[in-house]
A = this chain, B = another copy of it.
Amino acid sequence: MDNERIMRRALELACLSYNEWETPVGCVITKDKEIVGEGRNRRETSKNALAHAEIEAINDACRNLGGWRLWQCELFVTLEPCPMCAGAIINSRIIKVYFSAYDKKNGACGSVTNLFEIGFTHQPLLEGGLLEEESSDMLRRFFMDLRTYKANHKALFQNSVDKTL
């Protein structure tokens, strides 16, 4: 599989999160360009701060490959990893990371800091911006939908309060 096709699979996974009112982020791990792990953001549904796409994919790949060192594996994710996920990538010895959209507020692969370049024991290679537009568009639409939902929800809430008065 080529890199673009793999990232499109990560975007499919992000889309599944979108449909569950989760921030749409998907992740795929490959070895020799074959998929060995997949994950998507489920923080709200699982009620767990750790349930980011990359963490789920690393868990899946460790299970599938039977060890904690993901030697020669590459990780594809639709949003720049946060510090937790960048740290998990370092810990699991992933060799290269591709991400789509940049995360100006919480990105630890260049935006706020770059954890792969400040002297930790393992330093993965990095390529940002692969299918950036597709992922950025999906995230933009999601946050618009969420704002609309919250506005409607607030109105409904207001109505229900008014009825009880």
Contact = CB atoms under 8 A, between A and B. Distances in A.
Nearest to A107: B120
Given A105-B121, A113-B113, A88 B50 contact: yes
Interface stretch (A64-72, A133-141, A157-165): A64-72
A88 B58 CA distance: 15
A68 B90 contact: no
A143 B108 CA distance: 31
Given A106-B121, A121-B105, A62 B83 contact: no
Majority-rule SS of A interface residues: loop
A144 interface: no
Interface residues of A, number: 40
B47 A66 contact: yes
Copies in the complex: 2
A83 B120 contact: yes
Contact of A83 (B55, B67, B86, B112): B86
Nearest to A93: B49
Contacts of A58: 49-50
23 contacts: A43-B68, A47-B62, A49-B62, A49-B68, A49-B69, A49-B70, A49-B91, A50-B59, A50-B88, A51-B68, A52-B91, A83-B120, A84-B87, A84-B88, A84-B91, A85-B87, A86-B87, A87-B87, A87-B108, A106-B120, A112-B118, A112-B120, A113-B118
